[in-house]
Structure 1
Amino acid sequence: MRNMNPVADKAKPAGATGVARAHESASKHVSGAATYVDDIVTPHGTLHAAVGYSRIARGHIRSLDLSGVRGSEGVIAVLEVADIPGHTDIGPVFPGDPLLTSDEIKYAGQPIFVVAAETELQARRAVTKAKIDYESREPLLDVTRALKEQSFVRPSHHLQRGDEKTAIEDAPLKLSAEQHVGGQEHFYLEGQAALAVPGEDGGMLVYSSTQHPSEVQKLVAEVLDVPANRITVDMRRMGGGFGGKETQGAPWACMAALLARKTGKAVKLRLPRCDDMPMTGKRHPFYNSYEIGFDLQGRLQGAKIVVTGNCGHSPDLSDAIVDRAMFHADNAYFIPHVSVDGHRCMTNTVSHTAFRGFGGPQGMMIIERAMDDIARAVGRDPLDVRKLNLYGGEGRNLTPYHQTVEHNALPELIDELEESSDYRKRRAEITEWNKTSRVLKRGLALTPVKFGISFTMPHLNQAGALVHIYTDGSIQVNHGGTEMGQGLHTKVVQIVAEALSVSIDEIQITATRTDKVPNTSPTAASSGTDLNGQAARNAALELKKRISECIAEQKGCALESVRFESGRIYWGESASEEESMSFPEAAQFAYFHRISLSATGYYRTPKIWYDREQAKGRPFFYFANGAAVSEVVIDTLTGEYRVLGVDILHDVGRSLNPAVDLGQIEGGFIQGMGWLTTEELQWNAEGLLTSNSPANYKIPAISDTPPRFNVALFERDNEEETVYHSKAVGEPPFMLAISVWSALRDAIASLADYHVSPALDTPATPERVLKAVMETRKSAQAGGQA
């Protein structure tokens, strides 16, 4: 948003932004002093809650006997669905998420009742004494069967530009393929947790580990049947969220609040990992397909793409997630004629939910497979095919949803990375090495990322902030974003310090609270700093304006002459001590002249819109870009592999904090690598999650970090007027890990002299890699091409 404040940017920058600074809670994190929900000192007599949930995936409850639960040692209260005074469905956007059930069962892990006891151990023991008689039915678990039966949680959506059918038919070469993309467990270090403390007049203070305090406030108010102004939600920090606490934190807060109302005592509910994993949603698994036509050089002529999300039992956020998958099914490539269909399938699993990238990674996977497949078909290096198909200038810059790709940095960024990573030299060396290495094969891939920044639901693209200046010159900041370890609070402090030209040491940031900044959006969609940072800056600039006007009036000088520089305020033509005062003196000066030193700030993202009926619009304010080169080696006898090296060049605009940004890029890449290689969700035939603990679900360890891991920031300001021309950094780096998967396919393809493009679903476990090796050898021996 263009700043209209006449004194806003007159001052010399304080240098608070653009500097590598430590995370504002870093010392607390490493020393154990950081307070999470489970660390809060609880009121005397606090009760502890545990949840009783379904052990079948589909069916009905014939009978429910909780007498043993009620009689268990230490039990104070038991809550069933009939005990809820208000709403019983807490679906975040669309209905379909009952807080508790007494009849229909839609997934294994569905909550049935909640217990409050004097200790956590007593509560957990009590829930095991429930006697539940089920009428079980065969669960629907296969997404392809759900698609065939049109078992949907929401209607399908369609994007169209041009005539893809004719373009494919007329193209010299054609290909088609299918692809299964696995889901992912959030595996935040801090599990789901809530503490509800009852207050006066039906009020409730709720501490919740949530990315969306305002949604928790709304839903707690609805289940208690009280106005929202009776509920205050407080959230200082999370031990990780990744999207898993955008909607998934609300049920436990609602249950704790209901038990607190029923007992009159504070209630804490913290899910142990063994309950958290079966009961909370995951990244959506996807089933994708393409039909494409292209010329002899590998340039796309037309494409029909279908992305199908396995949504689980309810809508949750699946409508927007599949939309974003559709919006990213083109990734970085212009397709002259294209259609994209997006389906939202219902299956009998926990309802899948937001996860870093929010559907974008799953959508990108199908077009990146197509790039590799085209390259094998025309006998070119996959990088050359990718570069040939990149969005370009006039006539090649319109997305399938009719947004123009502006300020495209990818051609320059890819060229720079290609050179800095020695891609061509390494490609030649690897090709030669593979000719003589019988067992071990190496692979190399460079893949780009074009990721749209904004919530796809337009009303969420707004934020508020509250800034106080006290008479001693210290500053307190509150905003609607939540800190989950990503450094949001650190950047907001830097932004406010820059706006007021003061030291960051003078600024204290406080817990996100619904009674300070109301009606907040979730901290998601990589928009935390874009929205909340700009809102905080606007509040700070308003205070700067008030102080400037006060000094100009009282000192009899021109408003334009008032300057904020390095903790002092100057007026007049000179820079003398006589015509200046310290920031604390200025705060006192303004206070004595009855100037308010508290201001709210507000920001809403400009330019964005989307007409769903026409499937046209500008859903994204801008695009974040990046590219990664990954090198792998595989053992063709076992399917085992290692990532040997990674080179990343990523676009964050004008970096607000290079240290935080580099950390986000590195962490996002490794988490994405885990999604595509080792992290495998598994349900058995009865619909029970069997990958339900760290013992049988493998996230990347420090030993999985590539031995050579080079990360650099692409230095170019964001052309759009974001906060100090920065770009979002939370989600886009996650998709850089697609280069690892592509490199694995490249290594396997060497077994057929790069004439076969192997199918490799994800996660690409050693078993799947070995299967692809065997199939590729078979195809090579038959002389065919896949």
Structure 2
Amino acid sequence: MSPQSPSAAGLSTPHESAHLHVSGEATYIDDIPEVAGTVHAALGTSERAHARILSMDLQAVRDSAGVIAVLTAADIPGENDCGPIIHDDPVLADGLVQFIGQPVFAVFAETYEQARRAARKATIDYEELPAILTAEEAHRQQSYVVPPMRLARGNAQATITDAPHSLRGKMDVGGQEHFYLEGQISYVLPTEDNGFRVHCSTQHPTEMQTLLCKLLKLRSHQVVVEMRRMGGGFGGKESQSALFCCVAALGASKLKRPVKLRLDRDDDMMISGKRHGFHYDYAVGYDDNGRILAASIELISQAGFSADLSQPVATRAVCHFDNAYYLDEVDIQAFCGKTNTQSNTAFRGFGGPQGAIAIEYIIDNIARDLGKEPLDVRKANFYGTQDRNTTPYGQVVVDNVIHELVDELETSSEYASRRKACQAFNTTSPVLKKGLALTPLKFGISFNVVHFNQAGALVHVYTDGSVLVNHGGTEMGQGLNTKVAQVVAGELGISISNVRSTAVDTSKVANTSATAASTGTDLNGKAAEDAARKIRTRLADFIVSVHGGQSDEVVFANDCVRINDTEIPFTQLVLEAYLNRVQLWSDGFYATPDLHWDKDTMTGRPFYYFAYGASVSEVLVDTLTGEWKLLRADLLHDVGNPINPAIDIGQIEGAFIQGMGWLTSEELRWNDKGKLTTHAPSTYKIPASNDCPDHFTTRLFDNKNVEKTVLRSKAVGEPPLLLPFSVFFAIRDAIASLADYRVNPPLNAPATPEAILDAIEATQVQARENGMSPTGSA
């Protein structure tokens, strides 16, 4: 049959909800009209980082105005657990609290305000226990949420010892708050015969359904989870939406009334987990050209009090330590430190950024130690062909375009001339210093857990020619529904305006995977394409039965269907097919092929393909204050054959700014008691509009996917979060100029002004110890 119509797929059509977003008409969970009798919930939380609860007096809570009920762990009829993998994450703490902010009881009142006020009136007596607050301390005490993991190839330690050059060092990269615009929220309505309809801002409706059933001792067919759109997710609503969904459902079950649980921003940040912060201890051996001969590293993540998704996050960090570089011999160990802090969780990149930044830091050090241009050292270590194309975990890289992509960006960004200009500027500017860096990325696409790589969809064609598509992916602003609609429109040869995507609904498409790991379009787009193709095949067979010809000669394009010299409007053909009893709806299914993974040996083919990219960033650093500004950013990213270039560019630029925030301004701080002190917009700084550079160029690399993905496109959600590595290393480059680029600044992330000043001081001290006269402030 004919290929998809170019009138739908491949064009920069607007986001399907853009007009609703800008007009304020888009319906989020809190906008759903409340059913009569709706009850509002709030959570009472722990004030200790690690303690046994000796007694809990909730009478003042129950007596508070408007309170209908107060529920604790004792009121849960089924499993008191919302852990996605390991059962170590209670919905409500039962006798033991493990971080400040852990939910202990739930209040249900007539109004949101009454519930929140009442929740603060509890009297709880604690027996305090020793608390672990950092990943390093957890590692020292061998306190882990899951067993350590290791990936080794060759004899890295011996090779490092025998190498012409070697380096050892440490580095820290902090976590990150998701800071979605819409906080965690669930609205649960009892239905007949002990059923429930759940509206939950979640990336994983099926997991919410499953955990709710375990909590209330129900069967899956009694619970329907519906999710039209989220106001952002970024991974924070993959597993951690479960606690709030379960509490609302518990109240709805006990009270036989609808219950809404909407978190205040402070409560949200105090209760929910973040991106995992990492501590690194590394060693590397290399030759005179900077080519790495062997690398050894310990990756120690701050998991928090429970396992959550820490194990797969660590696995992905291990699998992305190589980034775009061939590493012949490696010894990579990962530890998930159990700490008495919020249980960290999925965050855009899912450990990939934390793994990749370590090798970039190492290569940056190698270049400076050898007195070489960092880009030359990066190129020397890129994946190549034949004997330099196999990852440490055993997957052969067959789609490598990093050489061509970096060469193109190097030319278009005028990297070489700008580097000379920055160095010239620095020789005459004692206080303000410029820095420039080009960093690459290679990011694997697929869930490491093979069975998650599947999706289903339903496509309905109505007799007026309009089309409704339902699939298992969740829309969180990233444009998934738009892309899926474009795929269906292209398959049927109709305009995108004729296709509508509906809310995710577990009663329509069952057993869905989370919308995560950048697989949303890959999986659900393919499933929808499969469903639409079945309908197209039926319509083609029907028109051939009437007008003759061969089914594979039927053309679907421009809202018409053509066979030989006969052309019929799509709407007419659909109506005629209906009158002749042709099935006009279909299901679709897709499972990503050729994936396998051995979690014990940490080897296999965990990724269907790789996405590539690179960026150049130029910064200006004030060495007296530690303040800095991004002057220019040039991005070149590989999205394969784009389904919607405008949406892809928006995702790339959004990821760049979000990742820049993680690496520079977004600092999470806990006090010595274990309380998160950066729990509000007043104390936690995400990038603002004035943090965007005046010169910001984003281009898509021309490259069709070698694998048979939907329209040969590539995922775009997570990979570009690695692009702002260039910002961090440009800042480091500016600091290094104080010592004539001969000292490696010990800069940790986030590179806040305080961290920059610390690195400046340390760089100058080391320069003096080396007999140099550093520039800048003393």
For normalisation by structure 1, the TM-score amounts to 0.97
Mapped contact 2:437–2:617 kept (Cα < 8 A): yes
User: Counterpart of 1:4?
Assistant: none
Pairwise CA distance, 1:12? 6.1
Specify which of 737, 757, 761 is matched with residue 748 of structure 2.
761
- AA of the residue aligned to 1:442: K
The correspondence of residues 420-431 of structure 1 with structure 2, limited to 5 A, is 420-431=412-423
- What SS class does the counterpart of residue 781 from structure 1 fall into? helix
Query: Who is 2:96 aligned against?
Result: 104
Aligned AA (1:320): P
- The answer to whether the 8 A contact 1:196-1:204 is kept is yes
Q: CA deviation at 1:615?
A: 2.2
The answer to whether the aligner puts 1:115 opposite 2:100 as a matched pair is no
Q: Contact 2:728 / 2:751 at 8 angstroms: preserved in 1?
A: yes
Other-structure match for 1:745: 732
| Partner in structure 2 of residue 659 of structure 1 | 646
- Counterpart CA distance in 2 for 1:625 and 1:459 is 25
Letter in 2 for 1:455: F
Summarize the alignment of residues 308-327 of structure 1 with structure 2, pairs less than 5 Å apart: 308-327=300-319
Aligned to 2:679: 692
Find the aligned partners of 1:686 and 1:95 in 2 and give their Cα distance: 27
SS in 1 for 2:101: coil
**What residue is the counterpart of 1:675 in the other structure?**
662
Q: How does 1:430-469 map to 2 (within 5 A)?
A: 430-469=422-461
Distance 1:776 1:557 in 2: 77
Per mean C-alpha deviation after superposition, the further-off stretch among 545-554 and 187-196 is 545-554
Give the whole-Å Cα distance in 1 for the aligned partners of 2:4 and 2:47. 63
Q: Measure the CA separation in 1 of the matches of 2:678 and 2:4.
A: 55
Give the superposition deviation at 1:557: 3.2
Which residue is equivalent to 2:24? 32
Shift in Å, 1:608? 1.1
Equivalent positions of 1:287-436 (< 5 A) are 287-436=279-428
Contact 1:756 1:784 survives alignment (8 Å)? no
**Alpha-carbon distance between aligned partners in 1 of 2:753 and 2:552, rounded to the nearest angstrom:** 66
Aligned to 1:681, the other structure's residue is in SS state coil
Within 5 Å, which residues of 2 pair with 1:135-174?
135-174=127-166
- Which residue number in structure 1 is paired with residue 514 of structure 2? 522
Following superposition, the deviation at residue 137 of structure 1 comes to: 2.2
Aligned partners of 1:436, 1:243: CA distance in 2, in Å? 46
**CA separation in 1, counterparts of 2:51 and 2:771?**
47
Q: Unaligned stretches of 5+ in structure 2?
A: none
**Is 1:596 the counterpart of 2:588 in the alignment?**
no
Aligned to 1:84: 76
Displacement of 1:646: 0.5
By how many angstroms is 1:138 displaced? Answer: 3.0
AA paired with 2:669? Q
Conserved 8 A contact 1:288-1:366: yes
Instruction: For 1:561 and 1:424, locate their aligned partners in 2 and report how far apart those are by CA, in whole Å.
Output: 53
Query: Distance between the aligned counterparts of 1:72 and 1:554, measured in 2?
Result: 74
* Offset at residue 784 of structure 1 (A): 6.9
C-alpha displacement of 1:580: 2.7
| C-alpha displacement of 1:552 | 1.9
Letter of the 1:317 counterpart: L
SS at match of 1:743: helix
Tell me if 1:243 matches 2:235: yes
1:617 aligns with 2:607: no
Aligned to 1:705: 692
The question of whether the paired residues in 2 share the 8 Å contact of 1:654 and 1:717 is answered with yes
Query: 1:311 is paired with a residue of what secondary structure?
Result: strand
User: 1:38-95, CA deviations, whole angstroms, 9 ceiling, x for partnerless residues?
Assistant: 0001111111110111011101111011111111111111111111111111211111
How many pairs align? 773
2 CA distance for matches of 1:11 and 1:132? 66
Aligned counterparts of 1:444 and 1:560: Cα–Cα separation in 2: 54
773-782 or 273-282: bigger deviation: 773-782
Structure 1 runs, 4 residues or longer, greater than 4 Å off: none
Alignment partners' CA distance in 2, 1:378 and 1:47: 66
Superposition TM-score, scaled by structure 2 size: 0.98
Note the alpha carbon deviations across 1:695-716, whole angstroms, 9 max, x for none.
0000000010011111111011
Query: Aligned letter for 1:761?
Result: N
Q: How does 1:12-27 map to 2 (within 5 A)?
A: 13-27=5-19
How far did 1:555 drift? Answer: 3.3
* Identity value in percent: 52
Partner Cα separation in structure 2 for residue 116 and residue 581 of structure 1: 59
2:4/2:490 contact within 8 Å kept: no
2:32 equivalent to 1:45: no
Query: Residues of 1 paired with 2:252 and 2:75: CA distance?
Result: 13
Please give the per-residue CA displacement for 1:542-594, whole angstroms capped at 9, x wherever unaligned. Answer: 110111112222334322232212111122x22xxxx2321111111221121
Partner letter of residue 221 of structure 2? N
CA displacement 1:492-528 (0-9 Å, x = unmatched)? 1111000000011111111011001000001110110
Kindly report which structure 2 residues correspond to 1:496-535, keeping only aligned pairs within 5 A, or say none: 496-535=488-527
- SS of aligned partner of 2:299: strand
Per-residue deviation, residues 462-517 of structure 1 (Å, max 9, x unmatched): 11101001111110000000000011111111110000000111111110110010
Determine if contact 2:5/2:494 at 8 Å carries over to the other structure: no
Give the whole-Å Cα distance in 1 for the aligned partners of 2:500 and 2:172: 47
Counterpart Cα distance in 2 of 1:784 and 1:402: 46
The unaligned stretches of length 5 or more in structure 1 are 1-6
Deviations, residues 716-751 of structure 1 (Å, cap 9, x unaligned): 111111000000000111111111110111011111
1:264-279 equivalences under 5 Å are 264-279=256-271
CA RMSD of aligned residues (A): 1.2
- Where 2:152 maps in the other structure, the secondary structure is strand
Partner of residue 582, structure 1? 569
Which residue identity lines up with residue 22 of structure 1 in the other structure? P
Change (3 A) 1:638 1:14: closer
Letter in 1 for 2:769: A
Q: Is residue 7–residue 495 contact of structure 2 (8 Å, CA) maintained in 1?
A: no
Asked if 1:263 is matched to 2:255, the reply is yes
